Amino acid sequence: MKKRGRGIATIMFGFGYGEGFPDHSIASAEIEEEGKILIRTAAADVGQGILTTISQISAEVLKVKPEAIQIIPGDTHLTKNSGSSSATRQTFFTGNAVKEASEGLLSNIYHYASIEFRSNHVELGIKGGYIFRKDNPNNQLSYWELAERVKARGDNLKAESSFFPHTDKPDPETGQGEKLYVAYTFVTQIIDLEVNTDTGIVEVLKVYTAADIGKAINPKNVEGQIEGGTVQGIGMALMEEQIIKEGITLNPDLTGYLIPTSMDTPHFITRLIENEDSEGPYGAKGIGEPATIATAPAIANAIYDAIGVRIYDLPITPEKILKALKEKVKFTSEGWLGL
Amino acid sequence: MEESFGDLKKGQKNCQRTVHCHVPCQGYFAPQKIEEALEILSKYGKEIKIIAGGTDLLVQYYDRLYEINHWLDLKNIQELKEINITQDEMEIGAMVTHTQLETSEDIKKYYPVLSQAAADIGSPQIRNRGTVGGNIVNASPAGDLLAPLMAYNAQFRLLSTTQEEKLVSAEEFFIGPKKTILEPAQLLTQIILPLPSERTYGSWIKIGKRKALIIAAITLALVVEMAEDHKTVKDVRTCLGSVAPTPIEIKEVKKKMAGKNFNQLDFKQLGQIVEDKISPIDDIRGTREYRKDVAKKIMIKALEEIDESMRGEEVI
C-alpha cells in the first residue's frame, strides 16, 4: 500500500567562516584589449556558477554586457587569494570583492575621462562601454580608447579590491557573540512523498522551497543550487550509507554507495525571497549549503506523517521503514491485548 | 623516442608472458562468423576473454585489463544480433542488447516480463551496450534478465567445434554466483524461448534502493498460463533473482496453483510460500529479513496485477 505524507522543516545558516576567522577575498578589474574587461579572482567555480555571478556583478557596475567580462579564475601566478569555494561564501565574499574592484575601475574611468574631457565627473555619462560629456553626448570615448590614452600617460586603467569583513569570536562560555557570521540564510521546505508500506521504498514527489537569499543575482542559478542541494539532501535522507563490517567499507564506490539519479528527482516549486537585507553584493546571501539542510528533516517529518513512525537515524532505508512498521503493528496489537 | 619504441617492440614480443601488456597483443579477434569465433575459442580456450557489450567485463577488469592477453570480440557477428520468430519459438541472438529487448514489438507482445526487465537494467547507456548473452554468462545472482528467462522456459544454445550443439535450460546452466556450466571452448549463441499461449500473463517486479542504475535487492518474474476455460491455472513459473546463489524457481507455488481456479487462490498463502522457500543473505543491497518480507509482499502484488490484467480483458 502507498501512503502519502507531508513534512516541513525550517533552517537558518550563518555562512562564511565567521567566528573571527580572517576570511576575505581579493579581486581586480582592468580594461583588457578587444572590448573585454578582465576580472582576476581565485574563486573556484565547482559548478555552482560563481563565475557567472561575478560576470553579472561587474557588468552591472561598469554598465556593459556580461559577455564583455573575461575572467582569469584560480591561477596562482595571475590571481590573489579569494578563499575557498566552501562555507557558502563565494557570492558574498568574492561577489563583494569583484563589485568593489569594478567600482574602483569605474572611479578610475571617471577620473581619467574627466582629464581627457577637461570636465568634472558629475558632467559625464556612462553607457555601453562609453563615457561621454552629458552636454555633448557625441563627444565620447570607449573604455578601451580611454585605456590607450591612460597607457600613453604611463599609467594603467585598473583597480584591485579586497573584501575583509569583521566577525567576532564566540564567547567560549556561552557560544554567543555580537556578530559571529556575516549574515544568515533562511530556508523552509515542504516535502510531499509516498511510502510504499510493502517495500519500505520512499518516493519524494514534490519539494516546495522558500529561500530567503537577500537577492538572487542569477535566479536560475539560485534555483539550480536549491534543486541540486535538495537532491543531495534526499540522498542524505534516504540513500547515502557507508556500510562497514569489521573495519572494512563494503561499499567504497558509487555502485554501492548510492546517491539519487535524475529518475529519483522530484518536482520542484521554488520561491525566492529577496529583501536585499545583507552586506553582500546587492544584498545577496549564500545558498550553497542551506539548500541541503532542510531536506532530511522535512523528509523524516513527511514519513512520520505518512506512516506514523519516527526514524531517528539517517539514511531512512527501506529496511528501517519495514522494521519500524512491523514493530508498530506489534506494539499496537500488544497494547490492544493489554486493554 | 627511438629508445622507447624499442622498448615497445620488446614488450610486444614478450607480451604473452609479461604482465604489463600495453600494446594490442596478437590476440584481438573480431570475426564475422560464428564458426570463426568457435575456431578461435577452441585454439585459446581459457586464455581468451569473450567480450560482448563489456558492461560487466570491463568493470570487473577495470584496473587490471593487462591481465587479459587475448580478446574475442563478438561485435561483428551479425547473426548474434537478431531476434527471429518461428512457428513455435523465438530465437534471440546472444548479442541482442537490452535496448533491443526493451523496444522489440515481438518481445513486448510475447514476453512482456522480459521486456520490462530489460527496461529496468542500469541506464540508457548500459542498455545500449549490454547484451542478453552477457547478462546470462556473467551469471550474477542479481542479473535482471535471468529470472524472466527462467520464467519463460528459456533454453540456451551452446556451440563449440568439438562437441555437438547443446540446448540447456536456465536451471541446468546456472550453478552458483558467477558460475555456469559453460566450458572455455563453448559459446552461447542463442536463447530459445517457446512461444507462450495467448492465455499467458506475466508480472515483473524489481526492488532496489533507487529507480535507475541499481543492482536489484530482489526480482520477481511471475508467469501464469491459464487453461482454455480462462479460469483454471494451467502452468505457473515463479522465478526470483537476488535471493539465492542463482536465479531460482519456487516450484511449490506451481503445486498449489496448477489446476485451481485463479479466483479462488489465496494470494497471501502463496506469498508466504515464496517467503518460506527462499534463503537470501545479508548484503549491502538488503538484509535477509528485508528480502524475505518483501518477497512475500511482491508475490502478492504480482498475483494482484495478473488478476487485474485478466479482469481487464473480461471487460473488453
Q: Which CATH number fits the domain B2-73, given the four candidates 3.40.640.10, 3.30.43.10, 3.40.50.300, 3.30.70.890?
A: 3.30.43.10
Give domain limits for chain A. Answer: 2-14+180-334, 25-163
Contact map slice: B 94-123 vs A, CB within 8 A:
123
Q: Bigger pLDDT: A254 or B12?
A: A254
* pLDDT tens profile B203-228: 999 999 999 999 999 999 999 999 99
* pLDDT tens profile B40-89: 999 998 999 999 999 999 999 999 999 998 999 999 999 999 999 999 99
Report how far apart, in Å, the C-alpha atoms of B278 and of each of B241, B250, B271 are.
Answer: 10, 8, 11
Helix axes A219-238, A295-307, angle to 10 degrees: 50
User: B277 is written with which cell numbers?
Assistant: 522457500
Task: Assign B27 a pLDDT band (cuts: 50, 70, 90).
Answer: confident
| pLDDT given for residue A330 in this prediction | 76
Chain centroid offset of residue A260 CA:
21
Q: Bigger pLDDT: A241 or B315?
A: A241
* Pairing of the two strands A69-73 and A202-212: unpaired
Chain A residues within an 8 Å CB radius of B207: 199, 201, 318
CATH code for the part of the protein at B200-315:
3.30.390.50
CB proximity B287 to A under 8 Å: yes
CB pairs under 8 A between A and B: 52
Which residue from B71, B13, B63 is spatially nearest to B44, judged by alpha carbons?
Answer: B71
Chain B residues within an 8 Å CB radius of A260: 210
Chain B residues within an 8 Å CB radius of A261: 123, 210-213
Looking at every residue in chain A, the average pLDDT score rounds to 95
Which residue from B129, B158, B125, B130 is spatially nearest to B144, judged by alpha carbons?
Answer: B130
Which residue from B98, B44, B40, B45 is spatially nearest to B74, judged by alpha carbons?
Answer: B40
Residues near B43 by beta carbon (within 8 Å), at least 6 away in sequence: none
Check pLDDT > 60 for residue A203. Answer: yes
Check pLDDT > 50 for residue B11. Answer: no
Residue A268 burial (C-beta neighbours within 10 Å; 0-12, 13-18, 19+): middle
Which residue from B102, B130, B96, B128 is spatially nearest to B116, judged by alpha carbons?
Answer: B102
Task: Assign A62 a pLDDT band (cuts: 50, 70, 90).
Answer: very high
Radius of gyration for chain B, computed over Cα atoms and rounded to the nearest angstrom? 22
Chain A residues within an 8 Å CB radius of B289: 319, 323
Phi, psi (degrees; rounded to nearest 5) at A209:
-125, 130
* pLDDT tens profile B227-261: 999 999 999 999 999 999 999 999 999 999 999 99
Neighbouring C-beta atoms of residue A178, cutoff 10 Å: 9
What is the spatial distance between Cα B68 and Cα B27, in angstroms, rounded to a whole number? Answer: 9
Q: May I ask the CATH architecture of the domain A2-14+180-334?
A: 2-Layer Sandwich (3.30)
Which residue from B91, B82, B70 is spatially nearest to B184, judged by alpha carbons?
Answer: B70
Radius of gyration for chain A, computed over Cα atoms and rounded to the nearest angstrom? 26
Contact flag A255-B215 (C-beta cutoff 8 Å): yes
CB proximity B211 to A under 8 Å: yes
Phi, psi (degrees; rounded to nearest 5) at B34:
-60, -40
- Comparing CB atoms, the residue among A199, A258, A319 nearest residue B287 is A319
* pLDDT tens profile A155-196: 999 999 999 999 999 999 999 999 999 999 999 999 999 999
DSSP per-residue string spanning A23-35? --EEEEEEE-STT
Give domain limits for chain B. Answer: 2-73, 81-194, 200-315
Cβ–Cβ under 8 Å, residues A166 and A179: yes
- Please tell us whether the domain made up of A25-163 is placed in CATH 3.20.20.140: no
| pLDDT given for residue A334 in this prediction | 61
Report how far apart, in Å, the C-alpha atoms of B135 and of each of A254, A327, B126 are.
Answer: 21, 39, 12
Task: Assign A34 a pLDDT band (cuts: 50, 70, 90).
Answer: confident
Omega cis (within 30) before A315:
yes
Task: State ipTM.
Answer: 0.86
Check pLDDT > 60 for residue B4. Answer: no
Q: How far off is chain A from B142, nearest CA to CA, in Å?
A: 13
* pLDDT tens profile B266-275: 999 999 999 9
Q: How far off is chain A from B296, nearest CA to CA, in Å?
A: 9
CATH code for the part of the protein at B81-194:
3.30.465.10
Prediction pTM value: 0.91
Task: Assign A333 a pLDDT band (cuts: 50, 70, 90).
Answer: low
Active site residue A289: yes
CB proximity A200 to B under 8 Å: yes
Q: For A179, what's the count of Cα atoms within 13 Å in the CB-facing half-sphere?
A: 9
Q: For B280, what's the count of Cα atoms within 13 Å in the CB-facing half-sphere?
A: 28
- Mean pLDDT over A244-262 rounds to 95
| pLDDT given for residue B313 in this prediction | 76
Report how far apart, in Å, the C-alpha atoms of B95 and of each of A15, B72, B79, B135 are.
Answer: 54, 13, 9, 10
Helix ranges, B84-192 (H): 98-103, 105-110, 112-119, 124-129, 132-138, 146-151, 170-173
Check pLDDT > 50 for residue B21. Answer: no
| Of A289, A319, A327, A334, catalytic | A289
What is the spatial distance between Cα A58 and Cα A37, in angstroms, rounded to a whole number? Answer: 9
DSSP per-residue string spanning B239-302? EEESSSSS-EE-HHHHHHHTTSBGGG--HHHHHHHHHHH-----BTTB-HHHHHHHHHHHHHHH
